Structure 1
Amino acid sequence: MVRPTLSNVVGASFRVVIPPGWFTTISVINRRTYHHLVSCTYEVDGDKYINYLASQWNQANSVMRDTVNSNDVVMVIPQDNAVTVDFATYFSTRANPSQEDLEDPKFKCNRVDVLTSEKPSNAPKDFPDYVTFMVMVEDNADAPGKADTPLFDDLVININIMQVGSPDLGSKYNLRNIQGDILPALPKALEYFYYFRISDLQHFRQTFKTFVLPKVTTADKLVNNPPPPVNPKNPESFKYPFLGVNVGFSYLALPFFGLTESLGDAAFEKGQQQDAKELGDAGTQRGNFWTPKWDGAFKEDIHGIFLITAYNEKVATDFIAELEAAFRVTPNRSSIQNVVVVHGFPRAGAEALNDHFGYRGGMSNPQVAGVTFKDKMKFPGSPLIPIGVIVMGYDGDEDKDKRPAWAKDGAFMVTRKLNNLVPEFDDFLLAHGPRLFPQLSPKQAADKLGSRLFGRWKNGTPTELSPDNDDPSIAEDDNRINNFDFDLSKGQRRCPFASHMRKSNPRNDVTPVESAFGHFVRRHNMPYGEEVSDEERDGRGTIKERGLHVVCYQSSIVRGFKFIQEGWYNDPNFPPNKPVQPGWDPIFGQTGEESQNVHRFMSGANPSLEPEIMSFPLKFIDPRGGEYFFSPSISTLTKYVAAT
């Protein structure tokens, strides 16, 4: 197998060759107070690219940034053909040289030393292959170093190259066989989650074959022939007659179709209702049976779910009417029973990108090269994962060799109905924010405390990048809003360890960073419910339901959703190895019954006194139901579900 190479070392210039299907990140640390410049030159599909990473005067031991977009990382997306990157390094002790001056050969650095790290032979089989070149640069051979100082200590270039697969998806991934909400996601201006139970199997299979199966939206359609996107500023875009349809089945339903072989996931086989206690949901234990405090419908047997998305209500509701008519055996008897339907839709106007708490999200969803993006991530900094973390049967799926053939190109879907207790959350912020930030107005103090609980300001600005205000220049810049690591030297002064954003995507809080990749899920959530009323804001608390209907995909519920909920959100010691106990995720963490005095808590809410503990006697999110589903491939739907 062809692997990355570093060669053609001439002085402090060198060449790196990246094989097809490998993803590359390049970052540079300046070790001196004077100027450094690193140029990276390469070609992709005949187009030449040059990135310049430059240091700032009098800032030693700092990350160098791109001179055009200020990013601290240069990324080379996986390509069909090998990519050759030529590096050159320069330095100057003059205070204000121009970039053109620095590129003069007389300013070239002297020489380099290279350390190479590769995937260990004893690493897990499905752990992504990687090669890291650490290039240490010496500026001037005539400048003698101190006796105890290394010569190659002026500049450090880190080139991390990871194999993620070729973007030639026609041969690599069978997108025509993968349901489209798994990857990349069904486009939507609204969504109906139609939970059902099968009551007449033969009629269900016949109707599924003739009515539903031809309408199932595939990943191939969304990647290679997507509908025009919805544009909130253009009302005409909502008239486009797009209809998205996907389907999933619970563990209870698979035997109906002869799918009796195990998918190797204990959580899926248990079902979410019996797993709810371990997830931290409130409930009651009766003998061996656990009854969560859910909506009654979710405690019934659920066999499947239809995901129905559209750009306007008429398209969606017309389809639901046709669906129910098609499954009707007689005027008074249907082959499916409607267990519950959740109607999801974005909030209106300026809140369209925000949840009901008012916070923007969705920027750090993990990405699969060539599927969720082709040339460039919308939000650089998102984890780049092998497709098998989400879709069964590919590299990244640790159980791909243990599963039946019909599992390939399928995924587990987890749904959760999470009521958001918005008035209670807002009241908490107003009650405690002014104590922590007395120099601010009550509203400003509440907003700042909220940003520390979420890890982002309401407009999406990460507190790690802007701890004191919701910087619009960051929020409006897709290249910056998610493109960062945590400055571990700052402790919790910028971003609390337990903040929701940090718990959800620990970035460099775990080492190696890639060790978290196998736990990631793709989230395709949708808000539901009305806006908060004046009556609720005037001290009455939550009266009407509103919240977030969670939909997330993974090739393992045990390693994915369940691990994140139990091992990250609900673990007060995560992230690990911190000087103070982080605490629970203040938003998504669950401890069961508040009446049992097991309250969530976190440190770091007060940036001036990081060890101080903030306790949350009331929950802000109330789980009301959900289920674990398997979203089969198109071939499995055809061969097994639609068989008659």
Structure 2
Amino acid sequence: MSERTHAQVELDLDDIQRGVLSPRPTPYAATYILFRIDDRDHGRELMRRVSAVVTSAADAVSPLGETWVSVALTYHGLRALGLRQEWLDTFAWEFRQGMAARAGALGDVGESSPENWESPLGTSDVHVVLVALAPDSAQLEAAVDRARTAYDALPGVTAIWRQNCHALPTETEPFGYRDGISHPAIEGSGTAGSNTLETPLKAGEFVLGHPDELGGIQTTQPEVLGRNGSYVAFRKLHQRVGAFRRYLRDNATGPEDEELLAAKIMGRWRSGAPLALSPAHDDPRLDADPYRNSFLYQQDDPAGLITPRGSHIRRGNPRDAEVAGVPRLHRMIRRGTVYGPPLPEGVLEDDGADRGLMFAFVGAHLGRQFEFVQSEWMNDGVFFGAGDAKDPVVGSADGSGDFTIPQRPVRRRLCSLPRFVVTRGGEYCFMPGLTALRWLGDLSD
């Protein structure tokens, strides 16, 4: 297959859900609502109704104004709609198994294991995931109230769980770092990537029915069911903010060193300014710089003297660094929406409140994208020569691991890393194209 330029690629943007390709707006309020389908006809009717309000990637605004609505289904949800088994068997096998069954590969062990998940996450009762985002809570609730009439009138469809999310006043995630900075360039998406040095990725890395980086095309049977759809991994991640702050305080020589340690662990300063562009101190001015995410690692920092090779953002996207594997084949769209109240500044003990991120991965390859990154890059260090060292922020730490900060003349090592993030549940889902949603709604026995 010949190389195609960004301008030559055409995607059916009006058939792709906007939640697949568009970065999260700021500010925002959001909600996740899970449904169980007990009557397949009512489930199909729900698909018909939501297809009329789901926002497409071509829409400047949604049918509900500035609110975005996305809908995804689990494997059990597709079964509840009455799809034939031979059709279901054409979906990715990780999706068919479900996130709970894949917990070991994801590092969801110990207190993060499925038996400790929040009910009903990880069970066969979760069939449909509806996600809505709006500029503020009032507009979000108005949209949910309008949507409620669609499913309240369907007794065979039951809302079984809801998680509200919001932007913190600081526009950061709970640990205090600015979030949502990095977004890949995707051919034909119409949305610019955040790194101008990154060659746009083939659309098939994120959307089924289109060529990917290896020239393959992910499809389903029938083809209409999968085309322009994407796999999504939703995860509720509880963050131990007090423990994170206390660890930094206990291992720093003073306030300035504490912030430097926080930056070395993340790979960015709290403002979002990358160490790669501001090695010595935080520079909030970079927040307004359109090139703030345009940097590489191999040419300027192969040893990780500026951005440690084991830091969170370098593990998640090694860019051009020399590592085991091909980073472009494991590139992902990541989204994070905050839930729970912020822990007051300066507090070093967690107060028992539930706070963290609703994390979402979007892509066409659950195995070589999300699961690979989780198992090989976040929960192992072999890919860059660091043995079994885990990600210092989200890794499945047990208190025995460490984190190395390369520096001259003597490297610095942080020891006894505790687990800062605990998985409270999650689901593998499929986010159909709008045509597929209508097709699901029109199914008949």
Q: 1:460 maps to which residue?
A: 272
2:76 corresponding residue in structure 1: 252
2:337 alignment partner, one of 521, 526, 533: 526
Count of residue pairs the alignment pairs up: 435
Q: Residues 317-370 of structure 1, C-alpha deviation per residue, up to 9 Å, x if partnerless?
A: 23323333332348xxx322222211111111xx21x21111123333211144
Runs of 4+ in 1 over 6 A off after TM superposition: none
Q: Give the Cα separation in 2 of the matches to 1:309 and 1:504.
A: 25
Matched residues in 2 for 1:640 and 1:397: separation?
29
Give the aligned partner of residue 564 of structure 1.
373
Q: Which amino acid aligns with 1:586?
A: P
Q: Distance in 2 between matches of 1:270 and 1:445?
A: 45
SS in 1 for 2:120: helix
Contact 1:392 1:555 in 2 (8 A): yes
Aligned residue for 2:252, secondary structure, equals helix
The answer (yes or no) to whether the contact 1:193–1:306 under 8 Å persists in 2 is yes
| Distance change (3 Å), C-alpha of 1:311 and 1:362 | closer
Partners of 1:345 and 1:309 lie apart in 2 by 9
Which whole-Å deviations, capped at 9, do the CAs of 1:421-468 have from their partners, x for residues lacking one?
11110100010011xxxxxxx211111101000011111222223322
- 2:235 counterpart of 1:416: yes
The structure, 1 or 2, with the larger RCO (C-alpha pairs under 8 Å, 6+ apart) is: 2
Indicate yes or no: 2:404 matched with 1:603: yes
Q: Which of 94, 110, 121 lines up with 1:298 in the alignment?
A: 121
Q: Report which of the two has the higher share of strand.
A: 1
- Contact residue 47 and residue 438 of structure 2 kept, 8 A: no
Q: Deviations over 1:16-56 (max 9, x none)?
A: xxxxxxxxxxxxxxxxxxxxxxxxxxxxxxxxxxxxxxxxx
Partners of 1:449 and 1:605 within 8 A in 2: no
Tell me the CA shift for residue 164 of structure 1. 4.4
Q: 1:4-403 residue pairs with structure 2 within 5 A?
A: 163-167=3-7, 172-185=10-23, 187=25, 189-209=28-48, 211-221=49-59, 225-226=60-61, 241-255=65-79, 256-258=81-83, 260=85, 261=87, 262-283=89-110, 291-300=114-123, 301-329=125-153, 334-348=155-169, 351-352=170-171, 354-373=172-191, 377-382=193-198, 384-396=200-212, 400=217, 403=220
Q: Is the 8 A contact 1:195 1:306 kept in 2?
A: yes
Report the RMSD for the aligned CA atoms in angstroms: 2.8
TM-score normalised by L of structure 2 = 0.89
Show structure 2 runs of 5+ residues with no match.
Answer: none
Instruction: Report percent identity of matched pairs.
Output: 22
Instruction: Give the aligned residue type for 1:601.
Output: D
Task: Give 1:630's aligned amino acid.
Answer: F
Q: 1:263 to 1:607 in 2, by over 3 A?
A: farther
Which deviations, in whole Å up to 9, do the C-alpha atoms of 1:290-314 show, x marking residues without a partner?
7442112314321110011112323
Residue pair 2:173, 2:179 contacting (<8 A) in 1 also: yes
Task: Output the CA distance in 2 between the equivalents of 1:486 and 1:401.
Answer: 32
Residue 291 to residue 309, structure 1, CA distance change in 2 (3 Å): closer
Q: Which amino acid aligns with 2:392?
A: P
Residues 273 and 489 (structure 1 numbering): CA distance in 2 closer, same or farther, change over 3 Å? closer
Could you say which residue in structure 1 is the equivalent of 2:394? 588
Distance 2:406 2:442 in 1: 53
Q: Which whole-Å CA distance do the structure 2 matches of 1:540 and 1:470 have between them?
A: 26
1:380–1:480 Cα contact (<8 Å) kept: no
Deviation at 1:401, TM superposition (A): 5.8
Corresponding residue for 2:327?
A: 516
Q: Which amino acid aligns with 1:495?
A: T
Give, as a single letter, the amino acid of the residue that structure 1 aligns with 2:17.
Q
* 1:405-444 to 2 correspondences below 5 Å: 405=223, 406-434=225-253, 442-444=254-256
Match of 1:22 in 2: none
466, 480, 484: which one aligns with 2:296: 484
| Superimposed CA distance per residue, residues 484-510 of structure 1 (whole angstroms, 9 cap, x where no aligned partner) | 334466623211110001101101223
- Spell out, residue by residue over 1:118-143, the C-alpha distance to the aligned partner (whole angstroms, 9 max, x if none): xxxxxxx7xxx6xxxxxxxxxxxxxx
- 1:545 and 2:354 equivalent? yes
Equivalent-residue separation in structure 2 for 1:402 and 1:637 (angstroms): 16
AA aligned opposite 1:463: L
Partners of 1:284 and 1:433 in 2: CA distance: 28
- For 1:509, what is the secondary structure of its paired residue? coil
The structure with the larger Rg is 1
> Counterpart of 2:118 in structure 1: which amino acid?
D
Which residue in the other structure is 1:138 paired with?
A: none
Aligned partners of 1:512, 1:412: CA distance in 2, in Å? 25
Give 1:184 deviation, angstroms: 2.3
Instruction: Show the counterpart of 1:632.
Output: 432
Partner letter of residue 266 of structure 1? Answer: W
- Change in CA separation of 1:588 and 1:468 when aligned onto 2, cut-off 3 Å: same
Tell me: CA distance 1:166–1:204, structure 2 relative to 1, closer, same or farther (3 Å).
same
Q: Following TM superposition, by how much is the alpha carbon of 1:165 offset from its aligned partner in structure 2, in angstroms?
A: 4.1
SS in structure 2 of the partner of residue 430 of structure 1: helix
Compared CA separation, residues 425 and 636, structure 1 to 2 (3 A): same
Q: Which has the higher helix share?
A: 2
Aligned partners of 1:364 and 1:382 also within 8 Å: no
Partner AA of 1:347 in structure 2: L
Letter matched to residue 416 of structure 1: R
Unaligned segments of structure 1, at least 5 residues: 1-124, 130-162, 228-239, 435-441
Conserved? CA contact 1:364–1:381, under 8 Å:
no
User: Residue 132 of structure 2: SS of its match in structure 1?
Assistant: strand
Which deviates the most, 443-452 or 517-526?
A: 517-526
Instruction: Encode CA deviations 1:235-269: one digit per residue, 9 max, x unaligned.
Output: xxxxx942211110001121224253224422111
| Matched-pair contact (CA < 8 Å) for 1:251–1:269 | yes
* Superposed displacement of residue 641, structure 1: 3.4
Partner of 1:106: none
Question: In 2, Cα distance between the equivalents of 1:571 and 1:268?
Answer: 23
Aligned to 1:215, the other structure's residue is in SS state: coil
Amino acid at match of 1:192: T
TM-score (norm 1): 0.63
The answer to whether the 8 Å contact 1:184/1:372 transfers is: no
Aligned residues of 2:183 and 2:193 also touching (Cα < 8 A): no
DSSP-derived class of the 2:247 partner: helix
